[in-house]
Amino acid sequence: MNKKPICLITGSTGLVGSETTNFFSKKNFDIIGIDNNFRKLFFGKSASTEKIKKNLNKNKNYKHFNLDIRNFKKLFKIFSKYNKRIKLIVHCAAQPSHDWAYQNPMLDFDINAKSTFNLLELTKSFCPKSVFIFMSTNKVYGDNPNKFSYLEKKNRYELKRNNKYYKGIDENLKLDGCIHSFFGSSKLSADILVQEYGNNFGIKTVCFRGGCLTGSSHRGAELHGFLSYLVKTALSKKVYKIFGFKGKQVRDNLHSSDLVKAFWEFYKRPRIGKVYNIGGSRKSNCSILEAINIIEKFTNLKVDFKLIDKPRTGDHKWWITNNSKFIKDYPNWKQNYDVKKIIKELIVNNER
């Protein structure tokens, strides 16, 4: 590596991490990627990111470290070696599943919360002027969105137009008085730590509380990454399981390339201790039943699915993000993908 600025990315072979790697490499950064392919451990061989790692390693600006982010000593060696050359940390690595967290809450907390604490401490010690971007989640709000009064339509739940959250849920939704799931709890712990390292130590930190994120490189699995997994299941003519809410639960979907462009806008004009909800918004959202209808229209296939009455703990009946706070601070950011464009890309990618 030469003396170009360094962007350090955890979870670099995942959906957001790999998109970030490619984007910032083109912006003339050297990339330090940290990823040990725990996604394979969580979700099985089909979720492995090994192929993505091989492609990233072809990039001369990319250096991969196959290490566990819980290992403070190895992280220390990286930060101490590159120190102030590190201008940006994008922390994407996580245990991302409600179900998996329930099975092993201690491992979930160590990966999601304690490792974030390690990265913040090392940032403070070795590169305190860098920008620290944390990929948080809308699950920090627990199941509070389920307490709204919804209209039940043929294929989706919907809010009344006069509801203050009709245009999307903003950062003012309360965080407590609800069920979070162990995953939501560990991510909330990390989220608050990121804010406090910004507010107490002046580090330029931001928490992006994402909804459903997807893209052509998403390795969707049954327990995580619904849109990618739904397309993959449909094309392979297998049965897709819908957990709760009659399949009418609504999700907004943000393409990873749109998300990473938000990272870039923040990096150019960083702030301290900021929090933004970021997601597909009213531009890009669907229920599971609506997504199935779109897939069937694009592929002429009949999607076979099974409804399971019980929803996942802490899961949302309806979520659409209000991006207005971020857009107000960063008006140059534009969202290019809607749900139909995302699904079409996923179908093309899976058919290759």
Q: Provide the token pair at 19.
A: 């998109």
The pLDDT value given to residue 43 = 64
Would you say residue 244 has pLDDT above 70?
yes
Q: Would 123 be classed as within a structural domain?
A: yes
> What is the edge-to-edge ordering of all strands in the sheet holding 62-65?
62-65, 30-34, 6-10, 86-91, 131-137, 204-210, 274-278
Mean per-residue pLDDT, 176-205: 96
d(CA 288, CA 295): 11
Query: Which of 96-110, 114-128, 147-161, 212-226 is predicted with the least confidence, judged by mean pLDDT?
Result: 212-226
- Helix (H) or strand (E) run with residue 86 in it: strand 86-91
Query: Which of 15-24, 151-160, 202-211, 216-225 is predicted with the least confidence, judged by mean pLDDT?
Result: 216-225
Give the chain's domain count: 1
Taking CA atoms, 331 is separated from 211, 212, 285, in Å, by 20, 22, 21
Q: Provide the token pair at 201.
A: 């130590």
The pLDDT value given to residue 95 = 85
Mean per-residue pLDDT, 238-244: 94
- Helix (H) or strand (E) run with residue 263 in it: helix 256-268
126 phi, psi to nearest 5 deg: -115, -25
The pLDDT value given to residue 139 = 94
Q: How would DSSP label each residue in 32-70?
A: EEE---HHHHHH-GGG--HHHHHHHTTSTTEEEE---TT
Mean per-residue pLDDT, 138-161: 96
The pLDDT value given to residue 79 = 98
Query: For 177-300, where are the E strands, in sequence order?
Result: 204-210, 212-214, 240-243, 250-255, 274-278, 285-287
The pLDDT value given to residue 219 = 62
Average pLDDT, the chain: 92
Taking CA atoms, 323 is separated from 27, 251, 318, in Å, by 25, 14, 16
Mean per-residue pLDDT, 261-278: 98
Query: By the 8 A CB rule, do 70 and 63 touch?
Result: no
**Domain membership of residue 303 as a residue range:** 6-351
d(CA 121, CA 118): 5
Rg over CA atoms, the chain = 19
Q: Would 1 be classed as within a structural domain?
A: no
First-last CA distance in the chain: 34
Q: Which among 337, 318, 233 has a CA at the least distance from the CA of 280?
A: 337
Report the CATH number that the domain containing residue 119 is assigned in CATH: 3.40.50.720
Q: Would 193 be classed as within a structural domain?
A: yes
Q: Would 12 be classed as within a structural domain?
A: yes
Would you say residue 241 has pLDDT above 90?
yes
Mean per-residue pLDDT, 119-123: 98
Taking CA atoms, 211 is separated from 114, 278, 324, in Å, by 22, 7, 15
Q: Would 169 be classed as within a structural domain?
A: yes
141 phi, psi to nearest 5 deg: -85, 0
